[in-house]
Amino acid sequence: MNKLRTLDRETLTWSALLGLTYLVMLAGVITGLWWVFLVGAAGSYAMDALLLHRLPELAKLIQQIRLGITPRALLRQLLALGLLITTPTATSTGIGMVLLAFLVLFGLQLVCGVAARLLRVRRRLPIVTRNINLDALRIPDSPPMALVREPMSRLLPLDAFLVAGAIAYVAVGTVWAVAAGAVVSVFLNALALALFCWYLLLARSIPEPERIMEFAQSWLDSYRPEVVLYFSGSADSAYQVNMWLETMARLPRRTLVVLRERAIAAQLAPTPVPVLCVPAATDLMALDFGPARVALYPANTGKNIHMLRNPLIKHVFIGHGDSDKVASINPFSKVYDEVWTAGRAGRDRYDRAQVGVRTDEIVEVGRPQLDAIRTDTAPNAVRTVLYAPTWEGWTDEPGNTSLVDAGPALVRALLSAEPGVRVLYKPHPFTGMRSAAARTAHRRIVELIEAANRPGSAQGGSSARLADLERRLADFDTDNGATDEAHNSREEGRADPEAAARVQELSEEWHRMYWDSHADTEHLVIQGPRPSLYSCFNQADLLISDISSVVADFIATEKPYAITNCEGITHEEFQAKHPTSSAAYMLSPDGGGLDAALAAVHLAEDELSDARTELKTYLLGPGEPSSQARFAAAVDDLYDRASAQHPVSAVPGTPDTAEAAPARV
């Protein structure tokens, strides 16, 4: 979500401060007071630093209205010249020296800008990889990030020494101050240009894009993937593919993750499975995936067509969670050979919707991600309620989320419940993306929870260990900001194959430490990837949510759950419309029904226990065999059927069938 949407007042404040610095410099020019100009200039450089390091969204906004770093630097230099011209003691020699120095700086920075672009293009590979050895590509070490990430935002403020020299010249009348400032500014820019040239020279060892794609094909020919997990989406949707990585790693076949966006590759969770990100459609469609006969799709996106066109592969929509939402019966799903659902509920959902997905194309495979979810409850001192509303959605249909109509009221009622209740609030990652009302409701809930936490309610004592675990987990991040994409791909190809297992161990320890570090009576606002949703499931005695995959997943715990009816229909009509709510304690937007839901935490008063057990089988399938085993069996069955239709060659690098040619461009 664009942070500027939630920080409008702050945005205006920072923008006003930026404008004020230039007005102060102008006042210094008009009045001839060098110290006034100095205050404004110092403020403008400080704002440049803030925009680069702390306010990147504001920097993008200012760039869009043509007030980026380049026009700001030129305006500052023009004002500095104005200060000199309006100073009676300034000589033509001094003014000429400053003007010449500014021109030399401009020329150097122009060449640096060109060199920076060439370096960035040269080191931007047509693929991004993990767990694929790239030694044959001879990728040199990454240059310092200052040279490739916003380089001009760092180079242009180097005129500060020359501007300071000009101010000193006005203040004390010595032309040597100008000369010294000019020498320092020019030297630093010349040094930057030398570094650009050096790293450009090193980057010459990287093959041309065509050769790199030939390498990618050669690697595919040698690896011979059998099953492909294909994903395309926005940076915020990385969780949709991350949830399938462990399932893919457990398959007994050679698996490959194929991504389309660099932002997704940067946010992909650790995995031992080879990862190949191919942003360009022409590059992807030119690749031959050899014996691959099954492609799995967690999301419906336009770029799926670039893999769907492969006639040798059976294409399967696996989604990123089942629910009664319209997204779970998307008519686009009929383009796939099969649609895999968790249980019978998914099959019935498509049958009722009549969107073109035939019953014989649906396979029930369970939800492998839920195999590790506990059916017991953490020994909490007080009842723990997880409020996990979904986001507002792309449409304005009533009831998309309870956050707007009921969120603050529900949380207020929970915080005042007797006996006391502990609240865990975990909003959807997309919350507030398109609704100002949702952003307002979210902020109000956060305020309520922060106000309800009494001082000293946290146990503490583990913060140092948690911070250490955070640092160690961060070491496995592919985009830690210190190196570029090509360098990261090279290093990931040399990574320890056991790294993913170590990350899992560190993550499990982090979760234990996190929950131990918070008192059982402390209310928590939980955002981001950790703690995970499933970890919150294990802590909760009761879930309050909306119609979404969160509800279907929570059913695996067999613990009570409640759903808020914000659609303006009766509870009976709501449950008939949304089968996943059939075993839920129904709530009204004002919190009506909450007492019954809280009472259900005590097993003796849980009147819907048997209904939940029955619903669990309906939504997620039988408990035995495990979902992972059922999923793997479905992959094997489809692979065998696809291979019978298009036999797989036993010789790597040769066409698998006569029909292979159409898959290449």
Assign a CATH topology to domain 210-367.
Rossmann fold (3.40.50)
Both structure tokens of 223: 């690896």
Residue 317 has pLDDT above 90, yes or no: yes
Contact indicator for 541, 384 with CB cutoff of 8 Å: yes
Which pLDDT score is estimated for 611? 93
Provide, rounded to the nearest whole percent, the portion of the chain with pLDDT above 70: 92
CATH 3.40.50.2000 in the chain, residues?
Answer: 210-367, 383-458+518-620
CA distance 288 to 310: 9
Which pLDDT score is estimated for 665? 26
More confident residue, 256 or 397: 256
Both structure tokens of 574: 């709501």
Angle between the N-to-C axes of helices 175-203 and 92-123, in degrees from 0 to 180, rounded to the nearest 10: 10
Which pLDDT score is estimated for 95? 92
Residue 500 has pLDDT above 80, yes or no: no
Which pLDDT score is estimated for 568? 86
Q: Mean pLDDT across the stretch 585-595?
A: 92
Phi, psi of 167 (to 5 degrees): -65, -40
DSSP 350: H
Q: In what order do the strands lie in the sheet with 421-425?
A: 524-525, 421-425, 383-388, 542-545, 561-564, 585-587
Both structure tokens of 25: 């410099």
Beta strands in 415-564 (DSSP E): 421-425, 524-525, 542-545, 561-564
Q: Mean pLDDT across the stretch 262-270?
A: 91
Lowest mean pLDDT among 58-72, 298-312, 472-486, 548-562: 472-486
Q: Mean pLDDT across the stretch 282-303?
A: 96
Cβ burial, residue 561 (10 Å; 0-12/13-18/19+): buried
Name the pLDDT band for 375 (thresholds 50, 70, 90): confident
Both structure tokens of 254: 């050679």
Name the pLDDT band for 2 (thresholds 50, 70, 90): very low
CA distance 200 to 187: 20
Phi, psi of 544 (to 5 degrees): -120, 120
Name the pLDDT band for 6 (thresholds 50, 70, 90): very low
Assign a CATH topology to domain 383-458+518-620.
Rossmann fold (3.40.50)
Q: Mean pLDDT across the stretch 82-95?
A: 91
Contact indicator for 551, 394 with CB cutoff of 8 Å: no
CA dihedral 56, 59, 60, 65 (to 10 degrees): 170
Backbone conformation region of residue 290, classed left if phi is above 0, alpha if psi is from -120 to 50, else beta: left
Which pLDDT score is estimated for 458? 54
Pick the closest to residue 22 from 52, 42, 8 (CA basis). Answer: 42
Q: How many degrees, rounded to 5, is the angle at CA 336 between CA 334 and CA 340?
A: 95
Q: What is the pTM of this model?
A: 0.84
Which pLDDT score is estimated for 630? 96
The residues, ordered by sequence, that sit 6+ positions from 449 with a Cβ below 8 Å of its Cβ are 411, 415, 423, 425, 523, 524, 525
Name the pLDDT band for 462 (thresholds 50, 70, 90): low
Residue 461 has pLDDT above 70, yes or no: no
Contact indicator for 580, 547 with CB cutoff of 8 Å: yes
Residue 659 has pLDDT above 60, yes or no: no
Name the pLDDT band for 355 (thresholds 50, 70, 90): confident
Give me the chain's average pLDDT, please: 89
CA distance 430 to 503: 26
CA distance 514 to 537: 15
Residue 242 has pLDDT above 90, yes or no: yes
Backbone conformation region of residue 366, classed left if phi is above 0, alpha if psi is from -120 to 50, else beta: left
First-residue to last-residue Cα distance in the chain: 37
Instruction: Please write the tens of the pLDDT for every residue from 383-396.
Output: 899 999 988 887 76
More confident residue, 433 or 145: 145
Q: What DSSP string runs through 195-257? A: HHHHHHHHHTTSPPHHHHHHHHHHHHHHH--SEEEEE---GGGHHHHHHHHHHHHHSSS-EEE
Instruction: Please write the tens of the pLDDT for every residue from 150-188.
Output: 999 999 999 999 999 999 999 998 899 999 999 999 999
275-277 and 128-130 strand pairing = antiparallel
The residue assigned the tokens 């023009």 is: 78
The residue assigned the tokens 């032309």 is: 175
Which pLDDT score is estimated for 252? 95
Both structure tokens of 138: 């001879």
